[in-house]
Each structure stands twice: as structure tokens, then as C-alpha cells.
Amino acid sequence: MPKINQLMRKILFLLSLITVFSCKSDPKTTEAPSAEATSLMAGSDTLIYPEEKYFKSIRQITFGGDNAEAYWSFDDSMMIFQSNNKEWGMECDQIFLMNTTDSFKDSIPPMISTGMGRTTCSYFLPDNKHFVYGSTHLVDEECPEVPLRSNGKYVWPVYDSFDIFVADLEGNIVDQLTDLPGYDAEATVSPKGDKIVFTSMRSGDLELYTMNLDGSDVKQITDELGYDGGAFFSPDGTKIIFRASRPTTEAEITEYKELLARGLVQPTEMELFICDADGGNLTQLTFLGNANWSPFFHPSGKKILFSSNFEAEKGFPFNLYFIDIDGKNLERVTHGETFDAFPVFSNDGKYLAFSSNRNNGGTRDTNLFIAEWQE
């Protein structure tokens, strides 16, 4: 996704300037469940805020840098994620592999991207032996420049050098799924194992497309002006949830087009939209204001878990929220004071992976956590 990690850096920069927080919650420590109860959580001892009733236990996976977009293999035995941890020798985001029982306080996971360019949005294929991801390495082996502001406003880069690749778990690229000029990235795979949804600039705007796992049968499924991205299929593969900006006034439209012509988008105003897998029945799901993003379907397919700062006055905190797929019953799920985002349920619905600033010792680190889910 267009460098989400830059959003985290911006939030954390703001945090360094602000010393007074409202509605502050003191964290509680949870006891580690027994290995008999769940081996995935064995030995866990980390932070859950008192109001976080859906978390039975929680385990921290990474301990430094910006770590995000952790996605489960189809059999829930592995995860892939992106990190720019300088302690691991990273200059910008690369893709790493882990078993779901791993943690990396004193070790480094295997890197399974090329180590060249900037990478983003990895996702397992159904065989659990290959994955898709976006990378800029064909255009430049160095990390591309990351603009954080344009005319005083916070922006994301959407590099036209991003294309989507397939690699094996040793990092060998075995296929290239996109090769048209312009941005192609943010690929995720249907739980049915038959389709990929991704964001592309090939129409001149940032729209959603679907394709087969081999890159064939590409179909455009959105066509409204604005950035459409971060899309995920429902558990049964029939629907897609995504984030979008929708400039409406003449000034907003002009600004959007001028930024896009420079390979930039402004992500501070986004809402969630839901549609059928073919783009039909498109509906705006949230009308909250500020940035509503990183949506993911609850295993029931009836609710969406997403990150938002709509309750924030100065850009933070970001917390996780539930909302029904008809836009009703909004509920706050996490209660941090900084940043919680990228929620992803395991395929069996027992665990939630997400990224958070909790338990980072007052640094700017954003780490991965796995929570044992309860309802």
C-alpha cells in the first residue's frame, strides 16, 4: 500500500510534539495461557488495555522499526510482513517470513523479497508456497525518495515503478503479474483462492482491478474519481471492502489531480466503501471524517474491523473499530493513545494480527502483535 509506514512516522512525529493526552488508559498485563490452551500464545506477556474485551491474550512479534501488513498463510501456519527495521539492515521496506509461533526480539526473520527497491503489500497464494507483492526494483535497485509533505500537507507517494510479482518462500521471483506503465500494487487474494484485487493507475486514476492468480482476465471494478486502495475480499469471496478518497469540490478535485500528476495522494480524508466482487452494488460504508482505512472482514463476513482517527482532534490516536456491513453498530475495539492499525484475522478466526505503538518504550517503533480473539 502506498507507504503506510510513512503515515505511522507522521503520527509518531506529532506525538513527539504533544505531551497532553485525553482519555488515557493504563495498560494491564495478561498472564500467559498454557501451551495446552494454545501453543500460539504460549509464553506471552504483553499489554492489553482494560477496555479491550476482544483480546484474550496478546503476544508481541517484533521489537523495533516499522512493521506492518502482516498476512496469514491459507493454513494459518505462517505470516509475511513488511519491515524497515534498521537493526536488520533495512533502508526501506522489505518482505519477511515468519512462523506464527515466532517472535524476533533477539533474532532476524528471513527476508523473502529481493532486498532491492521498495516493497509493499505481500500476500500468500493458496498453495502456501508462493506470495504476491509489489516492488520498485525493476526501475531502481535503490530505495526511492519518500516525500512526506507537499505545500505543507502530508502525502503518500504512489510510485509508478511499482509492479506486482510472484515469488516463492526462498525469495525467488517466479512471475510478474503487471507490466503496464504506472502504479500497480496493493494486491490481496480472495479466500476462495481464485482472484486477486489490486490498485492501478492504468486508467489515469487510482482504481481497483481484479485478475486471476496468473495475471489474466484483468477487470476494472471502480471508476469514481479519487484514490481507491487497500482492498480485501470477504471470507466467501463475494464482496470487497476498501478505503477511498472522494474529492467533490472544484478545489478538492484540482488538488487531487495536481498531486496525482506528481505521483502523490493526500490520505488524511478517507472513508470505507463496500461492493460486490465484480464492483456492483457499490456503497459508502462510513461517513466519519478524517482517515478511515485498513479495513478487514470479520470471519462472519457481517462486520468490518478497521483503523480510524475520526475521534481525534490532532491526527491521533488511531484505534480499531467495528462496523456492520450495512454501516450500523459502530464500536471501538482498541483503546490505545497512539496507533493501532492493519487488523487481519487468521483464516480460522481465532487470532488477530495487527500493528501498534503499544509497548514500544516511548520510541517511534510500530510493532506486530498477535491477539487471541474472544467474543
- In this prediction, residue 153 carries a pLDDT of 84
214 vs 219: CA distance, rounded Å: 14
- In this prediction, residue 27 carries a pLDDT of 32
Does residue 37 have a pLDDT over 70? no
83 vs 194: CA distance, rounded Å: 28
Does residue 2 have a pLDDT over 90? no
**What's the pLDDT tens digit per position in 163-181?**
999 999 999 999 999 999 9
- CA 181 to the chain's CA centroid: 24
Q: How confident is the model at residue 149 (pLDDT cuts 50, 70, 90)?
A: confident
- In this prediction, residue 313 carries a pLDDT of 85
Domain count, the chain: 1
- Work out the mean pLDDT of the chain and round it to a whole number: 89
Does residue 34 have a pLDDT over 90? no
**What's the pLDDT tens digit per position in 82-115?**
999 999 999 999 999 999 999 999 999 999 999 9
Q: How many CB atoms lie within 10 A of CB 103?
A: 17
Q: How confident is the model at residue 150 (pLDDT cuts 50, 70, 90)?
A: confident
Mean pLDDT on 265-276: 96
62 vs 359: CA distance, rounded Å: 11
**What's the pLDDT tens digit per position in 224-241?**
999 999 999 999 999 999
Share of the chain above pLDDT 70, in %: 88
Does residue 32 have a pLDDT over 70? no
* Pick from 33-47, 183-197, 302-316: least confident: 33-47
CA torsion sign for 180, 95, 233, 165 is positive
More confident residue, 157 or 34: 157
- In this prediction, residue 78 carries a pLDDT of 98
- In this prediction, residue 33 carries a pLDDT of 35
Burial of 352 (0-12, 13-18, 19+ CB in 10 A): buried
Cα–Cα–Cα angle for 263, 258, 177, rounded to 5 degrees: 30
Mean pLDDT on 240-259: 97
Does residue 77 have a pLDDT over 80? yes
Contacts of 253 (CB under 8 A, 6+ apart): 225, 247
- In this prediction, residue 151 carries a pLDDT of 78
- In this prediction, residue 28 carries a pLDDT of 33
- In this prediction, residue 82 carries a pLDDT of 98
Does residue 26 have a pLDDT over 50? no
How many alpha carbons lie under 13 Å from residue 114 in its C-beta half-sphere? 21
- In this prediction, residue 38 carries a pLDDT of 37
**What's the pLDDT tens digit per position in 38-75?**
335 433 335 899 899 999 999 999 999 999 999 999 99
Q: Could you list the residue range(s) of the whole structural domain that residue 281 is in?
A: 4-373
Question: Dihedral of the CA atoms 66, 245, 146, 150 (nearest 10)?
Answer: -130
- CA-based nearest residue to 187, from 242, 114, 132: 132
- In this prediction, residue 317 carries a pLDDT of 94
CB 208 within 8 A of CB 228: yes
Residues paired with residue 366 on neighbouring β-strands, in sequence order: 66
Q: How confident is the model at residue 147 (pLDDT cuts 50, 70, 90)?
A: confident
* Domain CATH number, residue 97: 2.120.10.30
Q: How confident is the model at residue 362 (pLDDT cuts 50, 70, 90)?
A: confident
Q: What is the 3-state secondary structure (H, E, C) of the chain?
A: CCCHHHHHHHHHHHHHHCCCCCCCCCCEECCCCCCCCCHHHCCCCCEECCCCCCEEEEEECCCCCEEEEEEECCCCCEEEEEECCHHHCCCCCEEEEEECCCCCCCCCCCECCCCCCCEEEEEECCCCCEEEEEECCCCCCCCCCCCCEECCEECEECCCCCEEEEEECCCCEEEECCCCCCCEEEEEECCCCCEEEEEECCCCCCEEEEEECCCCCCEECCCCCCCEEEEEECCCCCEEEEEECCCCCHHHHHHHHHHHHCCEECCCCEEEEEEECCCCCCEECCCCCCEEEEEEECCCCCEEEEEECCCCCCCCCEEEEEEECCCCCCEECCCCCCEEEEEEECCCCCEEEEEECCCCCCCCCEEEEEEEECC
Contacts of 193 (CB under 8 A, 6+ apart): 74, 125, 126, 213
